[in-house]
Amino acid sequence: MSLKSKLFPCLHNHLFVFAKNGFTQGCKEKAKKMGNVSLVTFSEMAEAFD
């Protein structure tokens, strides 16, 4: 994930990762540790349109 973000030569990158069924605990912990990652589930996207 972070390797692909280096394809864009920007000083500040923020990644949005989308998942249909949620994220593993390890993924959540890594995103929190990185600090520039937003994890978005399908249900969160659906709520935005209600």
Compute CA 14 distance to the chain's CA centroid, rounded to the nearest angstrom.
Answer: 8
The answer to whether residue 41 is domain-embedded is yes
Total tally of structural domains belonging to the chain? 1
Measured from the Cβ of residue 19, the count of other Cβ atoms closer than 10 Å reads 13
Whether 23 is covered by a domain: the verdict is yes
Beta 15-19 vs 37-41: how paired, if at all?
Answer: parallel
**pLDDT value for 2:** 61
Please name the residue ranges forming H helices in 1-50: 2-5, 25-34, 42-48
How does pLDDT run along the chain (50 residues), one tens digit per residue?
566 666 767 777 889 999 999 999 999 999 999 999 999 999 999 998 87
Q: Is residue 42 part of a domain?
A: yes
In a domain, 39, yes or no: yes
Q: Looking at the domain assignment, is residue 24 inside a domain?
A: yes
Tokens matching residue 33: 């540790």
Domain ranges, residue 24: 16-48
Amino acid at 43: S
